[in-house]
């Protein structure tokens, strides 16, 4: 009985966190092709903000190396694991389900693996991170967005 209660409580907690992330991630399009996400400071170092761009399209926007931001698909190419819940190690996001890794710069798995996930363009506008609504082809290199203060630098 105790195990069943603990298991049920943990399962409800996980479901609740996923529902909350989904609600926060739903954003309205500010300018048609670009979607407002949040202020840069709203994303903690080494973490991601997950945004729903369409019925089946979610993007994970990561903050790493202090003030750098990159956006990749939230779905791992291996088994659709939630990349936005993963950790960044050596410039790669690590899928929390099975440990598959993808470089933030281009969405490619490090050698010898060949998996790729789509990348997204980012920009800073009026103090808000904006993500391009349409994904780049899997493996497309995208320069990370560096934000100092409230300005983006190349």
Residue that is written with structure tokens 């903000």 in the block: 49
Q: What is the pLDDT of residue 15?
A: 61
Q: What is the pLDDT of residue 148?
A: 85
Rounded Cα gap, residues 47 and 70, in angstroms: 11
- Write out the two tokens for 37: 């996400």
Q: Which CATH class is domain 2-153?
A: mainly beta
| Peptide bond between residue 112 and the one before it cis (omega within 30 degrees of 0) | yes
Collapse the DSSP code of 87 into the 3-class scheme (helix H, G, I; strand E, B; otherwise coil) and give the result. Answer: strand
Query: What is the value of pTM for the model shown?
Result: 0.76
> Which runs of consecutive H residues, i.e. helices, occur in the chain?
2-25
Beta bridge partners of 74: none
Rounded Cα gap, residues 10 and 25, in angstroms: 22
Average pLDDT over residues 79-95: 94
Return the higher-pLDDT residue of 55 and 94. Answer: 94
Q: What is the pLDDT of residue 128?
A: 96
Q: What is the pLDDT of residue 70?
A: 97
Average pLDDT over residues 101-120: 96
């Amino acid at each position: 009985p105790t195990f069943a209660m603990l298991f049920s409580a943990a399962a409800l907690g996980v479901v609740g966190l996923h529902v909350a992330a989904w609600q926060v991630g739903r954003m309205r399009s500010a300018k048609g092709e670009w979607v407002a996400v949040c202020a840069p400071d709203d994303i903690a170092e080494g973490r991601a903000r997950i945004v729903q761009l369409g019925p089946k399209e979610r993007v994970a926007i990561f903050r790493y190396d202090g003030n750098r931001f990159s956006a990749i698909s939230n779905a791992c190419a291996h088994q659709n694991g939630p990349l936005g819940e993963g950790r960044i190690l050596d410039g790669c996001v690590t899928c929390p389900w099975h440990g598959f890794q993808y470089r933030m710069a281009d969405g490619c798995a490090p050698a010898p693996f060949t998996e790729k996930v789509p990348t997204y363009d980012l920009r800073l506008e009026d103090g808000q991170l904006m993500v391009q609504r349409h994904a780049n082809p899997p493996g497309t290199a995208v320069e990370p967005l560096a934000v100092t203060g409230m300005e983006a630098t190349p």
